[in-house]
Amino acid sequence: GKTYLVMGPPSCGKTSLLKAVAGMLKPSGEGGKIEYNGISKKDEPGMVLQNIVSYVGQLDNHAAFLTVQETFDFAANCRIGTATTSKDSGGNENDLSENLTIDGLDLAVCRDTYVGDANNRGVSGGQRRRVTVGEMMVGQNPVACADEISTGLDAAVTYDISSSIVNFAKAAGTTRLVSLLQPGPETFSLFDEVILLAEGRLIYTGPIDEVVDYFASLGYKQPNTMDVADFLQSVATPDGATMFHADESPMDEHYSASSFAEAFQKSSRHDTILTELSSPTGGRWSNTQLDSIDEENPDGDDENISNAIPEEIKDQ
């Protein structure tokens, strides 16, 4: 299970990227395709992206007069196709998935409370955000995209929700992409890799512990008074010029977004990514496989897993 933090200044394309991965963008006519472990919607029209990728938006849209438990029951019925509720399921695996999600997001205390909305009293704002994240985690899609989950939340709640997402992903061996505008250092350190965007261009993607050294090779030094997340947030903006040292850079002036993108495309990290993409790994897309994954070894053994489309993601 791997978790990616998507970052960049406002209007850099974070939401567009996540919606593209989730198959929610309309084709622009520019061409190209998005592949999921070597399989694309164009090549396999029978693929149902909603069975592969879930998307958590920035707004909390719920039925105000459903309780937290009823909201998760409804989500499970819609996503997994069951017709049971937690009261009559008899402890099936869907019910277990719901309970693990509710407990993991610290929602057990308000399980039987109305979700509510701006006009009707219910759970708190932080709890409502956890419900939004949790209902999309029911069923454990192989990939999930969460867009600006910190909207309206303080740093502590953002950390708790991000920690839950990361822990679920590692236990189940799934992939999670989370975009945050200004994550705190504790939240930033939870993730495995960072995807950094600027003006719609990819300027870095790779392990979090390598990102500072990468930008140092371009002549950008992280100030002692700034944490890594703030540094990355600023490096591709006009403020990044104050951190640029021409005597330690291949360039004579502050990089533009296009220059950053070109530099990354010439980097060894970019070459590594292309090599990895040329050899897609086996996908775990069935609930049975997810339930049997060892939490201590979420990567498991991909030796005998086929690239063929699993039945779970075909048209039903």
Helix (H, G, I), strand (E, B) or coil at 160: helix
CA dihedral 32, 36, 42, 45 (to 10 degrees): -160
pLDDT at residue 75, rounded to an integer: 85
The model's pTM? 0.81
pLDDT in tens, 121-179: 999 988 998 899 888 777 678 899 999 988 878 888 899 989 988 988 888 888 999 99
CA 110 to CA 122: how far, in whole Å? 9
Provide the residue type at 168 as one letter: F
Strand pairing class (201-207; 193-198): antiparallel
| CA nearest to 210, candidates 268, 132, 128, 266 | 268
| Token code pair at residue 270 | 């970019």
pLDDT greater than 80 at residue 81: no
Which secondary-structure segment (H or E) carries 274? helix 268-277
CA 81 to CA 189: how far, in whole Å? 36
SS3 content of the chain, % helix, strand, coil (to 5): 40, 15, 45
CA 258 to CA 179: how far, in whole Å? 21
pLDDT in tens, 59-72: 888 999 999 999 98
pLDDT at residue 65, rounded to an integer: 93
Helix (H, G, I), strand (E, B) or coil at 162: helix
pLDDT at residue 83, rounded to an integer: 52
